Each structure stands twice: as C-alpha cells, then as structure tokens.
Amino acid sequence: MRGKLNVKTIVILVVLLVVIVLGVIGVKTIQTFMSGATSDVEPVGVTAISSDDGKTAVVSWTSDKAAISKIEYGTTAASLVLMAIESDSTANHKISLTSLRPNTTYYYRIRIGEDVFDNSGIPYSFKTKGEVVVSVTPTITSTPLASSITPGVECKNGVDYNKDGSTNSVDMIYCRQQGGKIVAVTTTPSPKVTLSTSQCTGTIADYNSDGVINSFDRINCLQSIGQ
C-alpha cells in the first residue's frame, strides 16, 4: 500500500512539474506575441546618428532575416506620429529621418509588418545636434588721416588734402577751412595786334582775348585799325 502511494505521489509531482513548465513557456509565448517580437527580424545593434546641422538623422540596425521596416517617431514617447519607411527588403537596415529640429530629443520604435520593437516598452531615443551658428568677424578698414594744414599756406589744386582718395573742389574747401588760403589766379591779357582792314573781313580770331570768338572780335579788329 505504501509503495502504491509513493508511485502515485511521484506521478502527481511529475504532472505538476510538466504543467508548471508548460505554463512558463506559455507565458513567454504570450509575452512575445503581445510585444510583436519575432526572433528572425528582431533588430540588433540599433543606433541613431544625427547630422551636424541637427536637421536629419540615420537609424540603423541588423536582423537575421531580410524585411522592409519602418520607423515611427516623434518628439514625445506617447506621440510617435511621424513615419519613415525603407524602399527595399534588407537585413542591414538604414532609415533616414528628415525635417528634424536641431537640439531636440526624438523617440522612435521599429515596425516590421505586424511586429513592433520598442526597446521593451520604452521607445528608443536620440537627440539631434545643435544648429551650427556661423560667426562673421567684421572687417575694419582704417580711414586715412586728413592732412594737417599750416595756417596761411597756399591751397593748391591737385592735392588730396582730406585724404579721401580723390582730388577735387572739396580738397580746396577743406584746405581753406583748416586755415589755408586760396590765391586768385590772374591772367595777363594778350596784347592787341595791329591789323589791316583786309584782316578783319576774313576769319576772325580772338582779338580781344576774352576766350570767345564772336562779333566783338570783329569790332575789336576794326577798332584796332581805326575803323
């Protein structure tokens, strides 16, 4: 009787052990199903690298089986509303995320068919780099110092008194304001020539030396010969 009880007890214990093992396996299977994880497409070595300007990033990983994957991402873990998808089936995955904001944390998960990989319930994340600010150092050009004018000195044409790179009437004004003096230029009129009547009837020259050839020159010509 005692031997039969021992065998029965052993059988019950074995059955209970089998039930426990199957229960554990069942729980694992359910967890795997609920999380969407599939071993042959499960991401391995997931990384995200931001560009230097912080406006794009590349998410990469590998898997045992080739598949077409997509990234669901956003600026909060609870709102992964943006999406980027691969164009071809591959086991070496690289997906570019564009139109990102610099210096911003992004959250993402990987979806392959119906399978979702979200880092065991906590979405993957990365932070974009800060926007590059280019500083421009202004070029400082020195202005030449204007010439010092000795009071009473004669202001001459063709001298760049104010050092602006050109010579003009402004230089004379500057020279005068600084105490220089402008000497009036006098011209000695050409002496009148003695002419004959026949010379006054042909082509007229500037007989009166006024810089203009006109009827006054003819009159001057005739006056010079007493006409």
**Average pLDDT over all residues of the chain:** 77
- Distance (Å, whole) CA 178 – CA 180: 6
* Residue 196 counted as domain residue: yes
Q: Are 218 and 205 contained in the same domain?
A: yes
Mean pLDDT of 73-92: 94
Domain extent for 99: 44-127
**pLDDT 10s digits, 93-149:** 999 999 999 999 999 999 998 899 998 888 999 999 987 566 666 665 555 556 677
Closest CA relative to residue 220, chosen from 184, 186, 188, 195: 195
Give the contacts of 196 (CB within 8 A, at least 6 positions apart).
225
- Distance (Å, whole) CA 178 – CA 82: 73
The number of residues in the chain equals 227
Q: What's the pLDDT at 76?
A: 94
Residue 82 pLDDT class (50, 70, 90 cuts): very high
* Residue 201 counted as domain residue: yes
Sheet bearing 44-50, strands edge to edge:
44-50, 57-67, 90-97
- Distance (Å, whole) CA 15 – CA 161: 115
Contact 200, 221 (CB under 8 A): yes
* Residue 103 counted as domain residue: yes
Q: Are 161 and 201 contained in the same domain?
A: no
* Residue 205 counted as domain residue: yes
* Residue 177 counted as domain residue: yes
Q: Which residue has the higher pLDDT, 193 or 223?
A: 223
Q: What is the CATH number of the domain that holds 99?
A: 2.60.40.10
* Residue 99 counted as domain residue: yes
Angle (CA) 174-175-177 rounded to 5° is 65
* Residue 9 counted as domain residue: no
**pLDDT 10s digits, 198-209:** 566 666 666 666
Q: Are 217 and 196 contained in the same domain?
A: yes
Q: What's the pLDDT at 2?
A: 46
Q: Give the count of domains, the chain.
A: 3
